[in-house]
Amino acid sequence: MQLYEVFGAGTACVVTPVRCIHYQGKDYDIPLDPNDPQSEAGPITRRLHDTLTKIQYGEIPSEWSVVIN
For the segment 41-51, the average pLDDT, to the nearest whole number, is: 92
**pLDDT score, position 21:** 92
* Structural domain includes residue 26: yes
Comparing 1 with 52, which gets the higher pLDDT? 52
pLDDT in tens, 3-22: 788 999 887 778 899 999 99
**Mean confidence (pLDDT) of the chain:** 87
> Please, which contacts does 12-19 make with residues 24 or more away whose CB atoms are closer than 8 Å?
14/49, 14/52, 14/53, 14/56, 15/41, 15/45, 15/48, 15/49, 15/52, 17/41, 17/42, 17/45
Question: Is residue 23 pLDDT above 90, yes or no?
Answer: yes
The total of structural domains in the chain comes to 1
The residue segments making up the domain with residue 46 are: 7-56
In a domain, 13, yes or no: yes
